[in-house]
Each structure stands twice: as C-alpha cells, then as structure tokens.
Amino acid sequence: MDKIIVLDFGSQYSHLICRRIRSFSAYAELASYNITISKLKKLKPKGIILSGSPFSIYNKNHPMPKNNIFNMKVPILGICYGHQLIVDNFGGTVKNANKEYGSSILSIKNDSKLFSGVRNNTKAWMSHGDEAIDIPHGFKVIASTNRSHAAAIENKKEFIYGIQFHPEVIHTENGIQILKNFVLRICRSKQEWNMENFVTKTIKKISTINENVICGVSGGIDSTVTALLIHKSIGDRLKCIFVNNGLLRFEEEKIVREIFSKIGIKIIVIDAKKRFLTRLKNIYEPEKKRKIIGEEFIKIFSEYSKNNNKIKWLAQGTLYPDKIESGMSKGPSSIIKTHHNVGGIPNWMKLKILEPICDLYKDDVRKIAKILNVPDNIINRHPFPGPGLAVRIIGEVNPKKLKTVRIASKIVEEELKKSQMYNKVWQAYAAMGDDHATGITGDKRKVGNIVMIRIVNSIDAMTADWSRISYAVLENMSNRITNEIDEVVWVSYVISSKPPATIEPQ
C-alpha cells in the first residue's frame, strides 16, 4: 500500500496529520524524527511530512532529521517547525521574529499545485514564534499572511514544500484540501486505506504468532475489539482475562460477562479487589496511583502466564491518544498522564506486548467494531479509564468514596439515558474529592461530601468541551444523588473544557 511518512518532531498534533490523511483513504503513519535513512527507505514512502514541534530550531539540541533526508527524491512537506527546518537546511534564515498565534488570512501568491482548489484569503491557523525571513535559493513564496511573508514556500523542481501554518487543525479552513493536494497530486499516493483493509491485514499479521496470547479485557470497546481481532486470528490460543480490581462501575463484572458471552469469547475472571485496594491505601498522588494500578495488572497477568508456559504475549487495547498522553509517541513530546497500559508497565515484565489498534483513535475502533458485528450497546458504551474510579477519586481511594462515586455515576448515566442524551455525549460520570460542605436535612445541620458531575463532548478525546445539558436533567441528577446517597449534600457541574483541563480529574 502507498504510504506517507510523517516524521514526528514532538507536536501534540503530529498524529492528527496522519488522521486527516487517512480521512481521505490515503495511508499515513508516524515515524520518529531521527529514523535512519535506511529504515526510512525500507518503508518506501510516497512522500514525507515534517511535523511541528514544541522546540525552536534555535534551542540547543533541537530535534533534527538525518542529513540525507532531503536527498531521498520523494516529495517533502514541512509544517511549522518542519517548514523552518527546510528553510534552515537549504541556506535561508529563520529568526525569532513576528509571533503569530491563532487564525490568519492566507493570501495565495502563486499558482502552486499545493493550493489547487484552495480559496484565496482563506483562514489558516498559526502557532509560531520563529519566522522564515530569507527563503533559500531555488524556493519561491507561494502564500503570505500579514505577519508572515513566507507563510508557504515551494521548490517545484525538487518537490519540496514548506508551510508555516497547520493544515491538520480544523481551524485551517482548507487544511484537508492542502493535505489532499500534497498527498494525492504531488506524491501521487493511491487511496487504498480503509477499516476493512485494516481488519483483514491485522488478522493476517496476528495469525503468524505461534505462541499463546493473554489479553486483559475490561468490557470497553478497545479491549473488546483487540480480543476479537486476536480471537479471529488465533482462536482459543487467546486467553482473555477480566480483572475485577474493585475500581469498576456499578455491576461492571456482570455486564462484562454478558458482553463476552454475547460475542462468543470465553473469559477468565480474577477477583483482585482486595489487593488493589490494599496497595492504594494512603496513596494521594495521581501518577503514583496510576503506576500502582498498572503494576498490579501486570503482576496478575504475569502470575497467570507463569502457569501456562505457552503464553508469551500480552495484548492490550492501547489507542494512539493513550500513547501521546503517556509521552510514548514517536517524537519528543511531554507526559500528560501515564496511561496504565502504556507508561505504567514495569520493566521486569517478560511478556511481549501486542497492541493491534495502537495507531488508531476511538472513532476508528468503533468502525472496526461495526465491521466485526459488535452489538450497538457495546459500541456506544462510554469510555472508561483503565485505572477506573481511582482516577475519579481525588485523594485516597477507599471503599466509602468508591461506593459514593459508583452510585452517583450510575445515576448520571441513568438520567442521561432517560433523556435520550447518553449516545449524544462522549463521556459522563461523577467524581469526588475530600471536600465537605454544609447541608440541611430535616431542620438539622449536616456536613457531607461534594460530588462533581462531568459530562463532555468530544470526537477523539484529544480535545473536549463540557456538554450543555439541560437544567432539568442536571436537576434530576442532583436531586437523586443527594437523596439516594446519604453522605452527599452538594452536587456541582464541571464546566472546564480540554484544554486546559483533561477529561478525567486525575
């Protein structure tokens, strides 16, 4: 299959470039910014994109591609930092000059293939402090903005392009068209990528594994799809384990048993409530909680695999955003949260890791689930984090807080379903910390807990906005929570978007 390689210089949005390219059925994948030329040649790219970066090319030790990258005789597009790398490499000048953040108007100067079908004076999203001042010999300016003369440059002969703005961000009005022009017209890449092909290829690839595989399943869509793909490849050599860690949603174990009996895969249920809760006693720091939970999962999987010496692989439903937030993407980006299934894996683990969907986003996984005939009620279940309610409880995790959060979340979900809103939002739950507030019941003062309701809309969990739920629905949730959970006197609604907040409180 034709492919475009995106070299990741650490921008939080590098993978979005791949995602946008895949949205028009061409195939793109990320590679590390310093991949060797011989490895890159083996990938046979039809074109190369140099991503943005949190670094400036003037930072000491700024990320650099291998020298010969510009001699590969394939089209190259540099975006933001990538654009400045091109200017610098070919002898132009980049300076810390006109800062430009947010929307700018792009004035197209020249007839370039890159802007075919793109309206003049279109909006382009900028985020840069450095600017290309002198463009190198052999290049010409093909678009400018008020603050950036060389907002887009081209070396037509060498098929090298640089753009200062971000076409992968939705705020760039014709961003997809510009990426299409580069990928389809300039690189001449074929549109061969779709989820059906992904499923067929993945099953074929996994079928080459001769050993047994264990897969930790949670009843969530990611691990369910992972298990199904592997089951289709190696049948009963896959052992699915469901760990009840005591941090789960209301009646989760029962629901998971039903899901797997419906899709016809046997699961082994391990009751580990006590060991998780014991280890979480007196732990307040969020990253520590995540590490402990990740480690405990791995201990359980390793113990199980010791008794079955044919097991050599641990499969996980890791998604791409999990890797980005854990700082495990292919570029030099920073850690936001250690997802238990990524950065939380201790280095003593002997099992090899199998992550068939680790380059996909949630909506891709939902498409695969449809192809694999997963029932709709499973596909539409809200995402639930691997560390479970532990990341929705601020401060120490204990049975009392777990019970409160579990019942409050159940009420939130029930009220959303009643008002036909459950499938319209990304995620909805209740969280709590150690704060107390004063209430009054039956003429008596009562000091109790505060519960927070969090309901968000999102497309891929990389960004999110709080849901504008009707007051009537919120009122029902609040009334039920304070009436049905004795310990709670106050209910608040979280109205922070991501960024600056994240979806889960910890």
Residues marked as catalytic: 80, 166, 168
Please report how many Cα atoms fall inside a 13 Å half-sphere around the Cα of residue 70, on the Cβ side: 18
Residues numbered 82 to 121 that lie near ligand XMP (CB under 6 A) are none
| Segment lying near ligand XMP (by CB under 6 A), choices 50-58, 85-93, 238-246, 339-347 | 339-347
Task: Enter the tokens of residue 438.
Answer: 């004063």
Residues numbered 441 to 480 that lie near ligand XMP (CB under 6 A) are 461
Q: Is residue 258 a contact partner of residue 231, using CB atoms and an 8 Å limit?
A: no
Distance CA 220, CA 218 (A): 5
| Segment lying near ligand XMP (by CB under 6 A), choices 126-134, 199-207, 260-268, 333-341 | 333-341
Nearest to ligand XMP of 342, 469 (CB atom)? 342
Distance CA 27, CA 154 (A): 23
Q: Is residue 325 a contact partner of residue 464, using CB atoms and an 8 Å limit?
A: no
Q: Is residue 24 a contact partner of residue 176, using CB atoms and an 8 Å limit?
A: yes
For the bound state, the minimum distance from the C-beta of residue 359 to ligand XMP, rounded and expressed in Å, comes to 16
Nearest to ligand XMP of 75, 317 (CB atom)? 317
For the bound state, the minimum distance from the C-beta of residue 99 to ligand XMP, rounded and expressed in Å, comes to 28
Q: Mark 8-47 with x for binding to ligand XMP (rule: CB under 6 A) and - for no binding.
A: ----------------------------------------
Q: Mark 309-328 with x for binding to ligand XMP (rule: CB under 6 A) and - for no binding.
A: -------------x--x---
| Segment lying near ligand XMP (by CB under 6 A), choices 22-30, 205-213, 370-378, 379-387 | 379-387
Residues 244, 247, 253, CA angle at the centre, nearest 5°? 40
Q: Is residue 143 a contact partner of residue 113, using CB atoms and an 8 Å limit?
A: no
For the bound state, the minimum distance from the C-beta of residue 369 to ligand XMP, rounded and expressed in Å, comes to 16
Say whether residue 504 binds ligand XMP (CB under 6 A).
yes
Nearest to ligand XMP of 187, 368 (CB atom)? 368
Task: Enter the tokens of residue 320.
Answer: 């791409």
DSSP 217-249: --SSHHHHHHHHHHHHHHGGGEEEEEEE-S-PP
For the bound state, the minimum distance from the C-beta of residue 328 to ligand XMP, rounded and expressed in Å, comes to 12
The single-letter DSSP state of residue 390 is G
The single-letter DSSP state of residue 391 is G
Say whether residue 366 binds ligand XMP (CB under 6 A).
no
In 3D, which of 367, 379, 423, 339 has the Cα closest to residue 224? 379
Say whether residue 364 binds ligand XMP (CB under 6 A).
no
The sign of the dihedral angle between the CA atoms of 54, 500, 393, 424 is: negative
| Segment lying near ligand XMP (by CB under 6 A), choices 37-45, 100-108, 168-176, 384-392 | 384-392
Nearest to ligand XMP of 212, 457 (CB atom)? 457
| Segment lying near ligand XMP (by CB under 6 A), choices 17-25, 89-97, 140-148, 335-343 | 335-343
How many Å from the N-terminal Cα to the C-terminal Cα in the chain? 40
Say whether residue 340 binds ligand XMP (CB under 6 A).
yes
3-class secondary structure, 8: strand
For the bound state, the minimum distance from the C-beta of residue 176 to ligand XMP, rounded and expressed in Å, comes to 24
Q: For the chain, how many residues are written?
A: 506
In 3D, which of 167, 238, 181, 180 has the Cα closest to residue 207? 238
Say whether residue 286 binds ligand XMP (CB under 6 A).
no
Place of tokens 């969530």: 220
Q: Mark 474-503 with x for binding to ligand XMP (rule: CB under 6 A) and - for no binding.
A: ------------------------x---xx
Task: Enter the tokens of residue 55.
Answer: 């670094």
Say whether residue 383 binds ligand XMP (CB under 6 A).
yes
Say whether residue 343 binds ligand XMP (CB under 6 A).
no
For the bound state, the minimum distance from the C-beta of residue 361 to ligand XMP, rounded and expressed in Å, comes to 11
Distance CA 145, CA 333 (A): 28
Distance CA 340, CA 343 (A): 6
Q: How far is CA 59 from CA 54, 56, 62, 130, in A?
A: 10, 5, 5, 11
**Burial category of 303 from C-beta neighbours within 10 Å (exposed 0-12, middle 13-18, buried 19 and up):** exposed
For the bound state, the minimum distance from the C-beta of residue 374 to ligand XMP, rounded and expressed in Å, comes to 18
Nearest to ligand XMP of 82, 386 (CB atom)? 386
Using CB under 6 A, pick the residue from 78, 167, 219, 387 that binds ligand XMP.
387
Number of residues that bind ligand XMP (CB under 6 A): 16
Task: Enter the tokens of residue 494.
Answer: 């979280």
For the bound state, the minimum distance from the C-beta of residue 386 to ligand XMP, rounded and expressed in Å, comes to 4
For the bound state, the minimum distance from the C-beta of residue 503 to ligand XMP, rounded and expressed in Å, comes to 3
Q: What are phi and psi of 469, to 5 degrees?
A: -75, 145
Q: Which amino acid would we find at residue 64?
A: M
Nearest to ligand XMP of 82, 286 (CB atom)? 286
Residues contributing to the site for ligand XMP (CB under 6 A): 322, 325, 337, 339-341, 383, 385-387, 427, 461, 498, 502-504
